Amino acid sequence: MINDNTIVIDALALMEETLHRLAGMIDPPQMTDIYPGRRAPRYAKQGVKQVIVPKMARVVSTSRAAIMLLEASYLIEHAALVRMVEETVEDIMFLARGLELGLQPEHHEYLASFYPEYYKSVRSSGIPDLNERPEFKRWKLRKYIDAMYAGGPVLPDGETVGSLIKRTYAVNSGYVHGNCSQLMELYGGNPPGYHVSGVPHPSAPAAFAKYLRHSIEMAVVSFAAAANGFGDHESAGRIVRFAVRQGIVSAQSAAGAPRGQEPTAD
């Protein structure tokens, strides 16, 4: 199903290539002491680019995991991963545009929430103690994205980019939190019952696959923004040309899209 969808497969391959290219433009993570007995890779510099790169890795990895679940008909679990992809794509777009256009207070608030370590020690039970960390209010990110797309593009049915992001986020949140509408998709069949080894629905996987493709198309656009934010306009151009060929964006939109000012050092 998805593995026969060359657009999705080609998009993920291009996104992975871009990820590794941008990762090579910053100093790599170093093994760091987190707490006694725990070392893990961390970036020495805690800037925007050092957030964008692992976020890009998460998008590619999680998209491929979602494909595996979809192929096995684990539809609810698949949709929960798609929600993760969409949220991470929002993060990338928010941060990448900050690099291009200049960092605002909300970007600095985001960084202050992202970098503090979650764990400060591990008890004998194996469950770690948690550090107190500042919380970033996600509505600030969405407000920034709404303003960024206030002038378009125009979407079908009077939709805006901001309203589309909010609606798709809300739909898949039901799969994450287990709302009634989404959970009851596990029930059915003849005789009826709960399906906990994949949902044998003849048409639902195709509908979920279409939704996944939409999410990956959004991710493609965010990776182009990330490449521009890093100053890698060659990679950004390659992604945009792919997006135009596949109908993800129009040639007119691509030609009129501002490239932004010179990216900041962060």
Q: What is the pLDDT of residues 66-102, one digit of tens each?
A: 999 999 999 999 999 999 999 999 999 999 999 999 9
Mean pLDDT by 10 residues, the chain (266 residues): 72 97 98 90 97 98 95 93 94 96 96 93 80 92 86 63 72 88 90 91 83 89 95 96 84 53 51
Give the 3-state secondary structure of residue 260: coil
Q: Which of 180, 187, 172 is nearest to 218 (CA)?
A: 172
Instruction: Answer yes or no: are the C-beta atoms of 122 and 35 closer than 8 Å.
Output: yes
Six token digits for residue 60: 């590619």
The residue extents of the domains of the chain are 6-28+44-117+130-256
Residue 15: both structure tokens together: 């996104």
DSSP 66-122: HHHHHHTT-HHHHHHHHHHHHHHHHHHHHHHHHHHH---HHHHHHHHHHSS-SEEEE
pTM over 0.75? The answer is yes
The tokens for 147 are: 């303003």
